[in-house]
Amino acid sequence: MRIGLVGFGFIGAGLYRRIVADGGPGEIAFVHNRSPDKLGEVPRALVCERLDDAHAFAPDLIVEVAGPETSRLHGEAFLKFADYMPLSLTALADAALYERLTRAAARSGHSLLVAHGALVGLDSLAEWGEMWDEVIISFRKPPASLGLPNGTIEHEPIFDGSVREIAARYPHNVNAMVACALATVGLDNCRARLFADAGIDHLELSVEARGRDGSSLSICRRQPARGVSGSEMAAAVMSSVRRAVGAAGAVAFV
């Protein structure tokens, strides 16, 4: 599998190095970054200066780690010639964009891939997706991880509403919430709760899902913070890239 990377920050660079060192899921087709001067370790032949030229590198999969705007500007074009895995999933909270991307994938036979990211248990949530009646996903983060001044807000959420609403308000912080909503009851019906807690130095994610038949699923995860992401994110993305091999359908969860 030939893999194109859009973005070369903490996650993008970490993923690049893992693929180069491992080679298990495939090889690097190209790397694009808004600041080309940061691509010193990338061979010149693999640098894609303009995303309009990405098709010339013949990628099988394009992974976005650059921000939601990439999907808005290039997602449909990418899906004409490759599978597309946007890690900035909050872009998919735009209902019109999500529809355009899924239609583009269906027309081309490629897949829009939803990576699990920080969300453990995505397989179970997606497999039982039609059964869920109520899903609540909560984040508890240090204020700095949310771009907020340091302060203590421990018990009351700073946001309590739909995933679609929180994705618009915090577009760089709640990608796992979008993955959860897409896999279950949808962005308007999945409830999101966000807490800023100056008393912690890690990230906490919890999911409570209740089924129509009385069944339930509880998920809780804690991990060290690295900016807005968890410390495990590069490894989680690598796992999704591996699972992308053989993915099928206009939308696939990896």
Structure-token match 């809780």, residue found: 220
Predicted TM-score (pTM) of the model is: 0.92
2-117+233-253 architecture in CATH?
3-Layer(aba) Sandwich (3.40)
Give ranges for CATH 3.40.50.720 in the chain: 2-117+233-253
159-203 pLDDT, tens per residue? 999 999 999 999 988 999 999 999 999 999 999 999 999 888 899
CA distances 170 to 6, 59, 152, Å, are: 21, 31, 19
Reference 89, options 3, 182, 159, 6; nearest CA is 182
First to last CA, the chain: 16
Predicted local confidence at residue 129, as pLDDT: 85
Instruction: State whether the Cα torsion 185-90-246-102 is positive or negative.
Output: positive
223-240 pLDDT, tens per residue? 887 655 555 677 889 999
- Determine the average pLDDT of the residues in 12-20: 95
Amino acid (one-letter) located at 140: R
DSSP 109: T
Domain 122-229 superfamily per CATH: Dihydrodipicolinate Reductase; domain 2 (3.30.360.10)
